[in-house]
Structure 1
Amino acid sequence: MAGRTEAPNRASYDVVIVGGAIMGASTAWFLSDDKDFDGRVLVVERDTSYQFCSTAHTNSCMRQQFSTELNVRISQFAADFVKNMRSYMGGDARVPALSVRAFGYMYLADTEEFAEVLRRNQKVQLAAGAATELLTPEEIAAAYPFYRVDDLVLGSINRVDEGYWEGAAVFDWFRRQSRERGVEYIENEVVAITRNAAGTRVESVTLKSGEVIACGQLVNATGPRAALTARMAGLDLPVEPRKRYTWVFKAAQPLDRDLPLTIDPSGVHVRENGGGSYQCGAHEVADPAVAPDDFDMDFALWEDRVWPILAARIPQFEAIKVTAQWAGHYAMNTFDHNAITGPHPELANFIFLNGFSGHGLQQSPAMGRGTAEWLTHGAYRTLDLSPFHYDRILARRPITEDAVI
């Protein structure tokens, strides 16, 4: 955390959002944009440099290739929001005109079992209006001749609204406009959450700087630290930090066309960056939980596993030079890899916005909108996010998402 803390302007707020990265910022903006919301909002962020948050370490891509209809529709709204952000933000001429660089995601299956998953998922995606295509190895080779395809059974790609987008710009404008509308952001840290005497509601939060802040509703938007925040309120949350490694590299012989975000059957993924540059991501095979402040690189992982896999799938990547590398965290929902949203059934003003398992940036517009609707109206007005509510955790009722990278 940066070496300073900021005190809030007031002793009481209608909504306290714990965590000011993309989910917290999206929720704050949508609250500020709802004409029916007239409350005061405080966003508490432990490090406003955002140096180590998941938002800063993302691939900044979106896709519609999910196995559940709700996840498909969440990403469809993200694409619409990004492409029409200036309009959503009231026609503000300062807001940049953005787009989705739609090079698509390419899932590669090397077994009939995995191919059947892609076929099943495509049916869900097409029913929701996505443009997913299934490709034979021969069709993959014709469209993208740089792949080695001799071990493949099937590929799946959607070239419509799948690809890179300027997540940093959206994040910046969520914060900028909501501040202008009265949302208060402070650099501080929630260190305690106090319930009322009956134990049925959050009554206040205590900040690292000592202030006790009364709150009407509390939103847990603390990413990989979500379980720590929930624990302060006496709640269990199956979310833990999982380390994800990223490498940016230059190819001695760049590909002659855009590289889709390619998910190799090994789980290693790589995408186009532009200018002969590419971005690759992977994780350790064991994939253990890590401490929320552990961002150490595993330098052997690249040499021993990731680069050989890349070069085997795309032979032109045998001659490459790494230009940047870092480790970040997924906020992994170990229960079913899907978002955990909505109120706790026994602590109704504690609102979850957690466990996005690597999908957070692309899901942030819809999730922020839905959370703001719940806070303001007590119900969803657009997409019904109630299947993702916390009560499914207590009921042991998972919503399985097959398409997790």
Structure 2
Amino acid sequence: MANESPRHGNYDVVIIGGAIMGSATAWFLTESADFDGRVLVVERDMTFEACATAHTNSCIRQQFSDPLNVRISQFTAEFIKNLPDRMGDERAPKLSVQNFGYLYLADNERFANVLRENQIIQRGAGAETELLSADEIAERYPFYQLDDIILGSINRKDEGYWDGGTLFDWFRRSARSRGIEYIQNEVVAINRNAAGTRVESVTLATGEVISCGQLVNASGPRGAGVAAMAGIALPVEPRKRFTWVFSAEKPLDRDLPLTIDPSGVHVRQDGPQTYLAGCAPDPDPAVDPADFTMDQARWEDHAWPAIATRIPQFEAIRVITEWAGHYDYNTLDQNAILGPHPEVANFHFINGFSGHGLQQSPAMGRGLAEMLTYGAYRTFDMTPFGYDRVAQGKPMVEKAVI
């Protein structure tokens, strides 16, 4: 598909990146009765084949250590389960969560204490997290080998797998039907005013210089490159994450929770008789955003042995498909960076989700749309995610990062 030119020379909001964060922001702008501006979404590849959204494992959890992160996931669960009403379109499907839950396994007292502390926060925010001894885990899930495990943490309400691809499709489709303009093109320069306090325009690969009132960086793992064009440092980089889908010679007799093993491997139910596993590389460097090469040795030497050790019934398994995806990894604290830059006030971030972006997209898109419309958050107070903490080098601590 060739690059396209925009219909106009100026826009109230230009969004760089049309995947789920850019589309969620655009859609929530159309929801606001107080926003009537012109919006352009610039997406470098309208097939979306290589974006982080297309390579997600599409899970949702409430097991975070920060109550704001818990509430954000709860909003997503409510949003997707009521999608026709939320979208104002009866054709939209009601999505559901396959509630097999996340099961964190602790093999030492330090991490067990983290799970205990997190449960207090999660329950206080309305989650139904349970702490289980090794014996209690074995009673519910007798297929695990638990000799090294001293505690588990699980929640089976609005926690598990959901269809994030369908939500993305509806955000984008509905935004376009409501007048948001999408083009395939690429921003190659961001032009600030003489004082450096505002973005005045962007230059496209096709040569057009487009004036903009506000600019949104929604470019996922490429976010640091976009920020650099405006002279802004953003601690976000592409990090590979590997995924394998496999079948087992002896399938389990019940759903497998998304099990976070102390080895760093996670594995969960995928289809009726298929399972999905994932892990990071070791070492885990930044990569080129176009690099999706698999590391075959990572499966043979690390992921499969860890899975077969934890679930001996999975000693005989067969990989059906595999892929590498990217985290837009925030090297400061693995939390989102949201909202305006403190000095370039009309440059807005929606970046750095570090693997939990899809499940946060409705709340984050709504929050940024509020900021773009009102200059403040109206529902959740998203200021803890602001860029100020980046400038000050003060991490927003989240203990439950996978």
Q: TM-score, normalised by structure 2?
A: 0.99
CA-atom RMSD in angstroms: 0.7
Which of 328, 333, 357 pairs up with 2:325?
Answer: 328
Residue in structure 1 matched with residue 67 of structure 2 by the alignment: 69
Matching residue of 1:259 = 256
Tell me how far 1:275 sits from its aligned partner: 2.1
CA deviation digits over 1:91-118, x for unaligned, max 9?
x121111111111000001111110111
Once residues 4 and 301 of structure 1 are traced to their aligned partners in structure 2, the CA distance between those partners, rounded to angstroms, is 37
Equivalent in the alignment of 2:81 = 83
Which residue, 18, 33, 36 being the options, matches 1:35? 33
What is the total number of aligned residue pairs between the two structures?
402
Q: CA deviation at 1:363?
A: 0.3
* C-alpha distance in structure 2 between counterparts of 1:337 and 1:146, whole Å: 33
| 2:195 is the counterpart of 1:198 | yes
C-alpha separation between the residues in 2 aligned to 1:324 and 1:359? 22
* 1:266-345 to 2 correspondences below 5 Å: 266-345=263-342
Deviation at 1:89, TM superposition (A): 1.0
1:347 and 2:344 aligned: yes
For the residues of structure 2 that align with 1:266 and 1:316, how far apart are their CA atoms? 18
Partner of 1:47: 45
Deviation at residue 285 of structure 1 after TM alignment: 2.4
**Alignment match, 1:142:** 139
* Other-structure match for 2:246: 249
Equivalent position amino acid for 2:138 in 1? A
Structure 2 counterpart of 1:57: 55
Q: Which amino acid aligns with 1:119?
A: R
Alignment partner, residue 117 of structure 2: 120
Deviation at 1:198, TM superposition (A): 1.6
For structure 1, which segment, 99-108 or 282-291, has the greater mean C-alpha deviation from structure 2 after superposition?
282-291
Secondary structure of 1:380 counterpart: coil
- Relative to the length of structure 1, the TM-score reads 0.98
Tell me how far apart the structure 2 counterparts of residues 19 and 76 of structure 1 sit (CA, whole Å): 25
Unaligned runs of 5+ in 1: none
- Amino acid in structure 1 at the alignment position of 2:329: M
Deviations 1:46-77 (A, max 9, x none): 11111111111111010000010111111110
Separation (CA, whole Å) in 2 of partners of 1:88 and 1:318:
45
Alignment partner, residue 23 of structure 1: 21
Letter in 1 for 2:47: S
CA–CA separation in structure 1 for the residues paired with 2:25 and 2:397: 25
Residue 10 of structure 1, aligned match among 2, 8, 18: 8
Letter in 1 for 2:76: A
User: What residue is the counterpart of 1:155 in the other structure?
Assistant: 152
Q: Helix, strand or coil: the match of 1:24?
A: helix
Q: Secondary structure at the match of 2:372?
A: helix
What amino acid is aligned across from residue 146 of structure 2 in structure 1?
V
- Secondary structure of the residue that 1:23 maps to in structure 2? helix
Equivalent position to 2:389, from 385, 388, 392 = 392
2:208 alignment counterpart: 211
1:127-178 deviation digits (Å, cap 9, x = unpaired): 1111000000000000011111111010000000001111011000001111
C-alpha distance in structure 2 between counterparts of 1:247 and 1:45, whole Å: 28
Structure 2 counterpart of 1:74, one-letter code: I
1:105 is matched with 102
C-alpha distance in 1, partners of 2:310/2:173? 42
Give the corresponding residue for 1:168: 165
Distance in 2 of aligned mates of 1:46 and 1:77 = 30
Shift of 1:400: 1.1
Residue 236 of structure 2 aligns with an amino acid whose one-letter code is V
Query: Which amino acid in 1 is paired with 2:212?
Result: C
Corresponding residue for 1:222?
Answer: 219
SS of 2:332's equivalent in the other structure is coil
Q: Which amino acid aligns with 1:345?
A: P
CA distance in 2, matches of 1:93, 1:367: 24
Give the secondary structure class of the aligned counterpart of 1:236.
coil
Identity %: 68
